[in-house]
């Protein structure tokens, strides 16, 4: 989902049209406050990825202030930000990029270059989403399951794992089953591929 945050209706309409031309779903917000309200509620990430096209200068909550809020909440990996500005200056662009903005475009911008970067940002967001799911699953494992997992990833058989951890083979089998269930895999090969 492309989130377009700009106080100019004509810009929002043009960007929405550009997004549709690339088969990218888009939602528009006429102010930083409207988008910030979304962030204050539960964020439902799009499995296809998310990207924010953010105008730097808007009445009320400015784009840079909104970006600071995203950065403070460590959301810029899942919600990469591409700044748009009609008043850009080099120091501002350099500063926002150093602080984690995905890119910075000055109006008028090249439509194709902008949409290419949006698609790259969506891909980054998708990847960050997959990693977040994997880390979430890993967090559900007990400390003993983590120990068994590490040995499974080293290619150790159940008997070797049991001897190494001083537990029965049956206990290893139970831990292995729990790990596979929690990680949503069926084999050790699948598990290794997920955690590569």
Q: Which two tokens stand for residue 120?
A: 């790259």
Q: What is the pLDDT of residue 42?
A: 66
Q: What is the pLDDT of residue 19?
A: 95
H/E stretch holding 82 reads strand 81-85
Domain ranges within the chain, ordered by starting residue? 2-136, 140-194
CATH number 3.40.50.2300 is the correct assignment for the domain at 2-136:
yes
Q: Which two tokens stand for residue 75?
A: 């959301």
CATH number 1.10.3720.10 is the correct assignment for the domain at 140-194:
no
Cα separation, 64 vs 83, whole angstroms: 9
Q: Which two tokens stand for residue 163?
A: 């001897």
pLDDT digits (tens, 9 = 90+) for 103-112: 999 888 899 9
In the numeric block, the tokens 């309409």 are attached to 13
Asked whether the domain spanning 140-194 has the same topology as the one spanning 2-136, the reply is: no
Cα separation, 134 vs 137, whole angstroms: 5
Full-model pTM: 0.79
Highest mean pLDDT among 56-60, 70-74, 86-90, 121-125: 121-125
Phi, psi for 26 (deg, rounded to 5): -140, 145
Cα separation, 61 vs 57, whole angstroms: 9
């Amino acid at each position: 989902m492309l989130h377009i945050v700009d106080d100019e209706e004509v810009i929002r309409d043009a960007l929405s049209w550009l997004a549709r031309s690339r088969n990218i779903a888009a939602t528009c917000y006429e102010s930083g406050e409207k988008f910030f309200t979304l962030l204050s509620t539960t964020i439902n990430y799009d499995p296809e990825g998310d990207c924010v096209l953010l105008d730097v200068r808007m009445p009320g909550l400015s784009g840079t202030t909104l970006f600071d809020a995203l950065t403070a909440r460590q959301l810029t990996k899942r919600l990469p930000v591409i700044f748009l500005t009609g008043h850009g200056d080099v120091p501002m662009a350099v500063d926002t990029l150093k602080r984690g903005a995905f890119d910075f475009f000055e109006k008028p911008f090249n439509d194709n270059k902008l949409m290419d970067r949006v698609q790259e940002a969506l891909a980054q967001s998708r990847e960050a989403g997959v990693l977040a799911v994997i880390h979430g699953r890993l967090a559900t494992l007990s400390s003993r399951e983590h120990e068994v997992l590490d040995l499974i990833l080293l290619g150790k058989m159940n008997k070797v794992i049991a001897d190494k951890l001083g537990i029965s083979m049956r206990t290893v089998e139970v831990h292995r089953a729990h790990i596979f269930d929690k990680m949503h895999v069926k084999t050790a090969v699948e598990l290794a591929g997920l955690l590569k």
